[in-house]
Structure 1
Amino acid sequence: MKQQFLKYSALAVLLGAHPFVAATADEATSFTEMFTKGDAKFSFRYRYEYVDQDNPQEIAKASTLKSRVTLSTAAYEGFSALLEVDDVSQIGNERYGTPSNGKGGQYSIVADPDGTTINQALLKYTNKYFTGTAGRQRILHSGQRFVGGVGWRQNEQTYDSFRVELPIGPVNVDYSYIWDVDRIFGPDTNGHAQPRRFDSDSHALYVSYSPAEGHKLGAYAYLLDFDNAHSMETIDNALSSQTYGVEYSGKFGPITVAAAAASQTDYGDNAVDYDTEYYMLELGTTVKGVGLGVGYEELGSDDGVKGFVTPLATLHKFQGWADMFLATPAGGIEDMYFKVTGKVAGVALAAFYHDFEADESGPNDDYGEEFDAVATYAVNKNLSVQLKYANYNADQLFVDTEKVWFSVMLNF
């Protein structure tokens, strides 16, 4: 850890002495000023993750540090550029499994392999009519249920893509052609159980419209085709899908409402011929500063053979933080959940309860239940700490799983 601290402290000093770091909101008046009026940001996230599962594997204890440097230019004639580099370092002994370290048979998995990666590298052009971005970039659609960045993990998911964002009156159109998905599994996973990248020939379209203040409508089309030439090919093809859906979020007096529906079929080189649906409804309110919510989410199944898939989602946000359902079971999944949020003495608190069942009847109808809780405290605008907990109680699927995370986040 000391070596990493010295490494990035020295980098910060060097960049701080360079004119690139002279941050300003002003546009550049020359090509040179793109850099002299540019900006540099640094972020660090230390995390300790504990995973205890009711299986022969040993308890995982992962201590990792993510260090990020983000360099951005000022805009000149509408053009700007950004480069972001992430390094994930193991702190102490490697007592956890990853898809690439060969310890998955001994320890439970923690999907935070070490390594240094280019997280973003892009060129952007913006005017009053549209924004175009080319290169490796972050793409977050709506609540990240279908396209997201998996920012919870130390390695973020980003996209090699060309993206166009068009504001047309009250309508916003967001389209991306994605030729490569840079996944969360680090730079050394090719040839292992999880590939570093998905070779992609995919289209992602999200259109949003606000008919009135406090109300938002969205429609989306995701045509995803993945084709990796190694042992993951069969799985990649099984993830190739076309999804069309709509969503709504709004407020009626003290009640908030979120709802979505989508249909999905096979696409591209997917050898499985299937047709299934997705539904979500969530209601919420606030009583004396305490947020209360209840929701239902269904990822359907086609006759118990193939379930609805969301391979580009920020999956950790959904269906429990224990991450038991990163891959949708063949029988689909129904998730009835309740949540409570609030704040005590400056500490933001949240708790969830999930009850999981299959969408299609079969030998494993009742998947289990899960309790999640998190406490986050912002020390100041640059520093925050977080304690997070997940407990999955298995019934007819998977095994009992308990996870604890402690994180410290520093940004400047």
Structure 2
Amino acid sequence: MSKFYTFSATTLMASLIGTLPITAAAAEKDSFMEALTGGKVSFSARARYESVKQDNDLKDADAFTVRSTLGYETGRLNGFGAFVEFENVTDLGGDNYNSTTNGETEYSVVADPDGTEVNQAYLSYQGFDTVAKFGRQQITYRDAPFHRYIGNVLWRQNHQTFDAFSIQNTSLPDTQLSYAFVNKINTIFGDDRDSDLIGTGVIKNGVIDVEAHLINAQYSGLPFGKLEGYGYLLEYEDAEVISSKTFGLRLSGAPAINDSWNLVYTAEYARQSDYKGGTMDAQNYYLAELGAKHKGWLAKLSYEVLEGDGTDSFKTPLGTNHAFQGWADQFLTTPDQGIKDIYLTVVGNVFWDAKLIVSYHDFKTDEDSLDAGNELDISLEKTFNQHYTVGVKYADYKADNEFPSLVDTEKFWVYGQVKF
């Protein structure tokens, strides 16, 4: 796909906004035509510069890309509605990076390939405390960006979506029950990525064929926190040997200590094993967090373990993994030796109410406790007038000779976004 075509598609998407009706909400309507034409338009555009420097033979990467989306949600008729969203990613700065599809393999990877696609397209029903969707959609069960197991990979320019049937019910007090059946994963790599095994399955035209059952239950009626239970069963049609099932339980909360202090904690355990032709030996996951909130600031110490025995390891192939084990993305796929990550995070608002995040990670492998390096992450982001966001972000990963498969990596981002 040419750069002229993708840039023109972005321009066309933006210009269409003026031709569609915009309302405050896609509300219930009295007739089919009212529902069809009385919906709401959504639009977003995110421009980003990303640089990557690594201590290896690859050239430094410099990528300037723009992600734009245009969506339309109909009004509802007897509870039924529809949504469609187009997505375009355009490279504006030249191919001085490996997008994973542009053939520039002498550069470090910035996984934001060009392309235009239907990001979401689904029919929906809302009624009786239930929301059901059928079609291409985003599926998440936790607040962004902490989609540990199931996510939209919202940090990358091309988001991950699922061809699925999903249903969510809130009939029981303080309870949310969710289920989804997924048969296709539309990856971040776009239509040009083909026949590649990257730890999740064979990608064909940017898609992974699966038969996946996603089950999630959350109860928020406890006085001290939220309880979550989940089961994720993933069967890969073209790579049965890596099919797996994961069951877990999580308890988290931020109960008040007094008028100005809150305790913050998380305790989570999960077990992953083979499923439907899979061959992995069972591995465990542990997360323990403890911290405090005070006057808009948060500080917490976290310890996360994804077990590995040198052959198999606990993996989260459908998660937004950029949010975990450091923003330099050195552990997007858990190494066979597993990973242990102890990290300190500080979050708060600084000048002009900008949000500051500072995090420091110390990594070791689960098997043999080899030193796997450390990382410093810093970001500063400001949203104003509800629709506009600007930010800068930096990640500095330092490798260690005890675990020699990784190299020193520096990443830097500057970005701006508008969203309506």
Give the TM-score band, short-chain normalised. Answer: over 0.9
Match of 1:375 in 2: 380
8 Å contact from structure 1 (residues 182, 198) kept in 2: yes
**What is the alpha-carbon distance in structure 2 between the residues aligned to residue 16 and residue 23 of structure 1?**
15
Distance in 1 between residues matched to 2:56 and 2:218, nearest whole Å: 45
Of 335, 350, 354, which aligns to 2:357? 350
Q: After TM superposition, give the deviation of residue 378 of structure 1 in Å.
A: 1.9
- The residue number in structure 1 matching 2:138 is 138
1:371/1:390 contact within 8 Å kept: yes
- Shift of the alpha carbon at 1:371? 0.4
Question: In the aligned structure 1, how far is the partner of 2:355 from the partner of 2:269?
Answer: 31
Q: Which residue of 2 aligns with 1:389?
A: 394
Q: In the alignment, which of 325, 330, 334 is matched to residue 324 of structure 1?
A: 330
The structure 2 residue matched to 1:16, chosen from 15, 18, 23, is 18
Distance change (3 Å), C-alpha of 1:220 and 1:191: same
Change (3 A) 1:193 1:406: farther
Counterpart of 1:208 (choices 192, 207, 218) is 218
Decide whether the 8 Å contact of 1:81 with 1:124 is kept in 2. yes
- In 1, are the aligned partners of 2:132 and 2:167 still within 8 Å (CA)? yes
Q: In structure 2, how many angstroms separate the alpha carbons of the residues matched to 1:95 and 1:66?
A: 18
TM-fit CA distance, 1:22: 4.2
CA distance in 1, matches of 2:160, 2:389: 23
**Residues 9, 91 of structure 1: alpha-carbon distance in 2 compared, 3 angstrom cutoff:** closer
* Superposition pairs of residues 120-199 of structure 1, within 5 angstroms: 120-142=120-142, 143-170=146-173, 171-192=175-196, 195=203, 196-199=206-209
Q: Is the 8 A contact 1:148 1:312 kept in 2?
A: yes
Matched residue pairs, number?
Answer: 399
Choose which of 237, 248, 269 in structure 1 pairs with 2:251.
248
In 2: Cα distance, 1:176 partner to 1:322 partner: 31
Map of 2:417 onto structure 1: 409
Residues 1:14 and 1:204: Cα distance change in structure 2 (over 3 Å): closer
Counting only pairs closer than 5 Å after superposition, residues 39-54 of structure 1 correspond to structure 2 as: 39-54=40-55
Given candidates 310, 313, 321, the residue that maps to 2:316 is: 310
Q: 1:181 to 1:125 in 2, by over 3 A?
A: same
2:75 corresponds in structure 1 to 74
1:111 CA drift (Å): 0.6
Q: CA deviation at 1:226?
A: 1.2
Structure 2 partner of 1:103: 104
- In 1, the alpha carbon distance for the partners of 2:167 and 2:342 equals 36
Give the C-alpha shift of residue 184 in structure 1.
0.6
Task: Please say if 1:399 is aligned against 2:407.
Answer: yes
1-structure distance, mates of 2:196, 2:271: 32
The answer to whether the Cα contact below 8 Å between 1:239 and 1:311 also exists between their aligned partners in 2 is no
TM-score, length-scaled by structure 2: 0.90
Task: Identify unmatched segments of 5+ residues in structure 1.
Answer: none
* 1:278/1:308 contact within 8 Å kept: yes
Aligned to 1:35: 36
Q: Which runs of 4+ in 1 moved over 6 A?
A: 1-6
**Aligned counterpart for 2:282 among listed residues 275, 287, 292:** 275
1:339-379 deviation digits (Å, cap 9, x = unpaired):
111111221101000000011117xx111000000000124
Residues of 1 paired with 2:365 and 2:264: CA distance?
A: 27
CA contact (8 A) 2:26 2:40 kept: no
* Structure 1: distance between partners of 2:419 and 2:220: 33
Identity of aligned residues (%): 38
The question of whether the paired residues in 1 share the 8 Å contact of 2:50 and 2:62 is answered with yes
SS at 1:131 equivalent? strand
CA distance in 1, matches of 2:149, 2:127: 28
Which secondary structure does the structure 2 equivalent of 1:225 belong to? strand
Deviation of 1:3 (Å): 8.6
C-alpha distance in structure 1 between counterparts of 2:6 and 2:283, whole Å = 48
- How far does residue 193 in structure 1 lie from its aligned partner after superposition? 5.8
- Determine if contact 2:264/2:293 at 8 Å carries over to the other structure: no
Alpha-carbon separation, structure 1, partners of 2:122 and 2:347 = 37
Are the equivalent residues in 1 in contact too, given 2:13–2:69 (CA < 8 A)? no
- Residues in 2 aligned to 1:22 and 1:250: alpha-carbon distance in whole angstroms: 36
Distance of aligned partners of 1:377 and 1:22 in 2 relative to their CA distance in 1, 3 Å threshold: closer
| SS of equivalent to 1:103 | coil
Q: Helix, strand or coil: the match of 2:322?
A: helix
Does the residue aligned with 2:254 lie in a helix, a strand or coil? strand
SS at match of 2:35: helix
Q: 1:98 to 1:11 in 2, by over 3 A?
A: closer
Aligned mates of 1:50, 1:185 — CA distance in 2:
19
C-alpha separation in 1, matches of 2:24 and 2:294: 42
Q: What's 1:293 paired with?
A: 300
Structure-1-length-normalised TM-score? 0.92
- Equivalents in 1 of 2:296, 2:226: separation in Å? 24
Note the C-alpha offset of 1:259. 1.4
Paired amino acid for 1:411: K
AA of the residue aligned to 2:312: K
